[in-house]
Chain A
């Protein structure tokens, strides 16, 4: 493709039509169709690449069906009953969209705010309790001293 042979064009009686035809065919076949071909291949590549894991598993399944004749299930899986999977524990992640992510952040913030509020409430309650105790002690002391003074005045 792309190897143009225009050698004998001028010797043709209808060289003008020949040239026009050549330009149109070159444009259609080389420019339009080749670009279309590249676009189609890119599209297929994208489709396969975005599901690469699923495509891989699918390919394995096809391969297994084609190779079924190679294995003897009765002999090979004679003592098989379970598939036991041992894997290192890891945090499970699931694909989430932007809205869900925002919701997660919002929940996390609310959680933190609630923890902080509880903490502040505790401090407030402790302070209130301390203050009350101190005021009460002070009041009691004052009360005692006032009573004493009143008693003194009464004696006089």
Chain B
């Protein structure tokens, strides 16, 4: 073997049905139903998935990620700065009002784009659409964002808009995590967050039950105090017990 030359292996996979609309789709759907992780260590499966992933990744980046990042940036700009400057501006024809209106129009365009995708997904996945928590986050976030811009256009009181704006911004940040699944270095972390949340449900039930048990006990004994430790209601008792 000469210097600087390397030996290469060339192999081919001939499963043309993989690219077929029905069978190809069924193949990956069936893979998600397999409970054992062993199947994902088979070399052939890895090669097929990584090959197909290239096409999916490109589509996700171009059609979802880039538009969302622009949407997110505009929303961030609107929520953290422009909206509050506009709220403080006395003149209704002022610059902040104009800037606010421009951002609302841009956000509205992105909301329509989002709704279009969500409707496409609902049409495509039917009842399965509602199983995914990522879809739930998308729907709730889009609803909050829609409410916020409508409330802003309708000139509702700032104190009404603020809690919705706060939750809307939090949900937008959560949606950024969705794109963490696109990259090899962060995909397993996002999976871990969802696995931890899923596996902890029984623990959380017992934990909350114990907190509630002590909250009830505190609530009763608190009635013998002068002054009491907290207000005489279950919510304050729960927060006290949790603390």
A142 proximal to B (CB < 8 A): no
A-B contact number at CB 8 A: 190
**Could you tell me the distance in whole angstroms from the C-beta of B124 to the nearest C-beta in chain A?**
5
With A59-B190, A66-B132, A70-B56 given, is the CB distance from A85 to B12 under 8 Å?
Answer: yes
Residue with the greatest number of chain B CB neighbours at <10 A, chosen from A2, A53, A64: A64
Q: Which residues of chain A come closer than 8 Å to B51, judged between CB atoms?
A: 83
Whether the Cβ atoms of A21 and B53 lie closer than 8 Å is no
**Could you tell me the distance in whole angstroms from the C-beta of A8 to the nearest C-beta in chain B?**
5
With A29-B210, A59-B181 given, is the CB distance from A82 to B243 under 8 Å?
Answer: no
Whether the Cβ atoms of B240 and A40 lie closer than 8 Å is no
B10-23 Cβ-contact flags toward A at 8 Å (1 or 0): 11111110111100
With A61-B32, A85-B13 given, is the CB distance from A69 to B121 under 8 Å?
Answer: yes
Whether the Cβ atoms of A73 and B217 lie closer than 8 Å is no
B136 proximal to A (CB < 8 A): no
For residues 186 through 201 of chain B, which have their beta carbon under 8 Å from a beta carbon of chain A? Answer: 187-188, 190-192, 195-196, 199-200
Which residue of A5, A62, A65, A86 contacts B9 across the interface (Cβ within 8 Å)? A86
Whether the Cβ atoms of B241 and A68 lie closer than 8 Å is no
- The secondary-structure label for the interface of chain B is helix
For residues 108 through 123 of chain B, which have their beta carbon under 8 Å from a beta carbon of chain A? Answer: 117, 120-121
Give how many B residues have a beta carbon under 8 Å from the other chain's beta carbons. 78
Which residue of B6, B16, B24 contacts A81 across the interface (Cβ within 8 Å)? B16
Whether the Cβ atoms of B25 and A68 lie closer than 8 Å is yes
A104-123 Cβ-contact flags toward B at 8 Å (1 or 0): 00000000000000000000
With A11-B226, A70-B64, A86-B9 given, is the CB distance from A55 to B56 under 8 Å?
Answer: no
Whether the Cβ atoms of A85 and B64 lie closer than 8 Å is no
A17 proximal to B (CB < 8 A): yes
A155 proximal to B (CB < 8 A): no
Whether the Cβ atoms of A57 and B7 lie closer than 8 Å is no
Residue with the greatest number of chain B CB neighbours at <10 A, chosen from A2, A3, A65, A76: A65
Whether the Cβ atoms of B49 and A60 lie closer than 8 Å is yes
B81 proximal to A (CB < 8 A): no
**Could you tell me the distance in whole angstroms from the C-beta of B27 to the nearest C-beta in chain A?**
10
Q: Which residues of chain A come closer than 8 Å to B38, judged between CB atoms?
A: 54
23 interchain pairs, CB-CB under 8 A: A11-B227, A12-B224, A12-B226, A29-B242, A33-B210, A54-B40, A56-B184, A56-B191, A60-B53, A61-B32, A64-B56, A65-B29, A66-B134, A68-B25, A69-B121, A73-B21, A76-B55, A80-B16, A82-B12, A82-B14, A85-B9, A87-B8, A87-B9
**Ranked 5 nearest A-B pairs via Cβ:** A77-B19, A12-B225, A54-B40, A89-B7, A57-B40
